[in-house]
Amino acid sequence: MKIHIPNSAFIGNIDPFLANFDPSEPDKLEITANQNWIAVHPLVLAMIGALGLTVRPENIKCQPIEARSGHYLMRMGMYDFLKLTPPESMANIAKHDLTGKCVPLRTIKTSGELTEFLEELTTLLHLPPDQAKAIRYVVDEVVRNVFEHSESSKGAVTCAQYNKKSNSLRIGIADTGVGVKQSLSKSHAAPTHLEAIRLALMPGITGTTKRDGGTAQNAGAGLFFTKSIAYINRSFFMVYSGSGLYKLRMRDAHKPVNFLNADPFKDKHSKIDGLPNWQGTLVGIDMSLDNTMEFDALIRLIHAVYAGGVKDKRKAKYKRARFV
């Protein structure tokens, strides 16, 4: 496998980076990087970390990275995670207290490890308790999807970064499990990876049952909740699995939030089917912390569209829930 870290790869412009990913020779991992500048989303590092777990450490090769901004990779834990020696130019970089700035790469396999990650994530939010609870909730849901659906023995690879200038949180979550299509195909017809992602983002669709609305234990709404909060906050969100990519794009600032679409294809978005195959699932989240709604109000809205979506699914339609 080959992966190149470009000078810029965030959710808004991540398509070329994903298109250049080479999944061939899965027993090897070769990492190269732009030598002038590196500025990438935590998703890129989560992706690299997840790939690293699938090969023997001695089969991971990383080009010496001399870009001035390359120290970002070290502070986000890439070298430690992959058990690589950083280049000499980084040898004297002091380790700073990253509390409130980022959560470096780590693997999450248990509920205890997830709780620890969420506690560290909370320090990045700088939000009132009710708003921080909303962010913790959706991240908890997405990571638990890995436990429940990916069938991966390696768990989820995650990292996060707070950007003070834009007052935004960026989160990357990656796994190398069976992927969305295989997981959902047990209970739902999903002819393509992109259609499977579409189903996974709808409330009430879960790979554990054909029943409309899922079960009391698994309502199939984790990714829908995440997309909804990103939409309300005018932020980016993406899911990449198999050869399919779905990206929620930033809604227009002048457009009022009067409803949420249960069907992700009705939101402002872009999609690709035909990317290099990712064996598993990647989720990238951007959240502007300036416009976050109060958790209770958002959950009422999400619950309304979820209940409406399940009811109308029997009629092959989805209602739009409105604010009250």
Q: What 8-state DSSP symbol labels residue 58?
A: G
What is the per-residue pLDDT across 78-128, written as a single tens digit (0 to 9) for each?
A: 999 999 988 877 766 655 556 668 999 999 999 999 999 999 999 898 787
Q: How confident is the model at residue 232 (pLDDT cuts 50, 70, 90)?
A: confident
**Mean pLDDT across 317-323:** 40
- At residue 93, the pLDDT reads 61
**Mean pLDDT across 288-303:** 68
User: What residue segments make up the domains of the chain, in order of their start?
Assistant: 96-322
Beta bridge partners of 8: 39
- At residue 94, the pLDDT reads 52
What is the per-residue pLDDT across 148-204, written as a single tens digit (0 to 9) for each?
A: 778 888 999 999 999 888 888 999 999 999 999 998 887 778 899 999 999 999 987
242-251 burial by CB neighbour count: b if 16+ within 10 A, else e?
bbbbbbbbbb
What is the per-residue pLDDT across 26-48, written as a single tens digit (0 to 9) for each?
A: 999 999 999 999 999 999 999 99
Q: Is the pLDDT confidence value at 67 over 80?
A: yes
Q: Which of 14-23, 62-71, 83-92, 169-178 has the lowest mean pLDDT?
A: 83-92
Alpha helices in 86-173 (DSSP H): 111-125, 129-145
Helix or strand or coil: residue 182?
helix
Q: Is the pLDDT confidence value at 321 over 70?
A: no
Q: Which of 76-80, 202-206, 305-309 has the lowest mean pLDDT?
A: 305-309
Q: Can you tell me the distance from the alpha carbon of 159 to that of 64, in angstroms, rounded to the nearest whole number?
A: 22
Q: Which of 262-266, 268-272, 295-299 has the lowest mean pLDDT?
A: 295-299
Beta bridge partners of 29: 60
Q: Is the pLDDT confidence value at 227 over 60?
A: yes
Compute the mean pLDDT over every residue in the chain, rounded to the nearest whole number: 83
Interacting residues of 185 by C-beta distance below 8 A, sequence separation 6+: 196, 207
**Mean pLDDT across 288-313:** 62
Q: What percent of the chain has pLDDT over 90?
A: 51
Tell which residue, 269, 157, 246, 131, has the closest CA to residue 194.
Answer: 246
Q: Which of 60-64, 145-149, 226-230 has the lowest mean pLDDT?
A: 145-149
**Mean pLDDT across 300-320:** 50
Highest mean pLDDT among 242-256, 265-279, 295-309 belongs to 265-279
- At residue 307, the pLDDT reads 58
Are the beta carbons of 37 and 68 closer than 8 angstroms?
yes
- At residue 247, the pLDDT reads 98
Q: What single-letter amino acid sits at 4?
A: H
Could you tell me which residue, 233 or 76, shows the higher pLDDT? Answer: 76
**Mean pLDDT across 59-78:** 90
Q: Which CATH superfamily does the domain covering 96-322 fall into?
A: Histidine kinase-like ATPase, C-terminal domain (3.30.565.10)
**Mean pLDDT across 249-254:** 87
- At residue 284, the pLDDT reads 96
Q: How confident is the model at residue 211 (pLDDT cuts 50, 70, 90)?
A: very low
